[in-house]
Amino acid sequence: RKEVEQDPGPFNVPEGATVAFNCTYSNSASQSFFWYRQDCRKEPKLLMSVYSSGNEDGRFTAQLNRASQYISLLIRDSKLSDSATYLCVVNSLPGAGSYQLTFGKGTKLSVIP
């Protein structure tokens, strides 16, 4: 099983749609979870951290299910500017290895006018 697995997409959605991305991770000892956004030929940028209780930032909602080792990102009212690749990221190891993050390959989103 891959450490962090995502549906590569692409997801092509109309403006205003709601879209959900899912991610699974293999290491049950992982402690921290993130969604990053990467625009074409640019660096990844932190979108949001993911907490067990779920968290929301404007149109974005992230959820974590530790029992199922599953992370989700929901984008409501999609904008053209949301078009990007969304990376699911997990810290892989406890203790000294916590410094390392494992990145999924990303899910590509295209929002269409």
Partner 1 sequence: DGGITQSPKYLFRKEGQNVTLSCEQNLNHDAMYWYRQDPGQGLRLIYYSQIVNDFQKGDIAEGYSVSREKKESFPLTVTSAQKNPTAFYLCASAKGNFPYEQYFGPGTRLTVT
Structure tokens at 15: 């403006």
One-letter identity of residue 2 = K
Q: At its nearest, how many Å lie between partner 1 and the CB of residue 44?
A: 5
Q: Does 1 bind partner 1 (CB under 8 A)?
A: no
Closer to partner 1 by CB, 19 or 23: give it: 23
Q: How far is the CB of 16 from partner 1 (least distance, A)?
A: 29
Tokens at 95, concatenated: 């203790």
Binders in 68-97 for partner 1, by CB under 8 A: 87, 91, 96
Question: Which residues from 32-61 bind partner 1, rule CB under 8 A?
Answer: 32, 34, 41-46, 49
- 56 vs 77, beta carbon nearer partner 1: 56
CA 106 – CA 85 distance, rounded (Å): 6
**Which secondary structure element, helix H or strand E, spans residue 89, and what is its range?**
strand 84-91
Cα distances from 85 to residues 2, 7, 100, 108, in angstroms, run 19, 11, 21, 4
Q: Which is nearer to partner 1, 42 or 66 (CB)?
A: 42
